[in-house]
Amino acid sequence: MTTSVIGLSIDAADAAALAAFWSEVLHRPVNPGATTESAAIDAADPAQGPKLAFWKVPERKSVKNRLHLDLWTDEFEAESKRLTGLGAVPVAEAEKPGVRWTTFADPQGNEFDLIASLPAEPTEPAGPTGPAA
């Protein structure tokens, strides 16, 4: 038996509006028939990730997400600027050896991370090797 992730469901106050935001972020169209109650974005192929479904819920987000999307980019500064232009709000920044990320909130408060590799640190050239002449 095989089990696969085919999609992620995201709570929303307005499903169509949130789907429109993520459509712009991911460069994937919102499926026809989106409403304030429900909307979806399919992936054309598995490399684009799973289907995203947006569902209207009565309550507002009140605590940190238990699940969030991680987005990878090779153009961190440009993509960060594009996301804020679409309505995302930076929440926190972090860095570990070789990688950095910014946690953003989408227009309805759901967190997601934008991640990029850090340039490799320059290393000092190694000294001569082998026996002394």
Instruction: Give me the count of residues in the chain.
Output: 133
pLDDT tens per residue, range 46-66: 777 899 999 999 988 888 788
3-state secondary structure of 95: strand
**For residues 28-34, average pLDDT:** 95
Confidence (pTM): 0.82
**For residues 32-38, average pLDDT:** 96
The structural domains of the chain, ordered by start, are: 1-58 (3.10.180.10), 69-120 (3.10.180.10)
- Rounded Cα distance between 63 and 44, Å, is 32
| Residue 126 in this model has a pLDDT that exceeds 80 | no
| Residue 29 in this model has a pLDDT that exceeds 80 | yes
pLDDT tens per residue, range 85-105: 999 999 999 999 999 999 999
- Rounded Cα distance between 105 and 91, Å, is 7
The mean pLDDT of the chain is 89
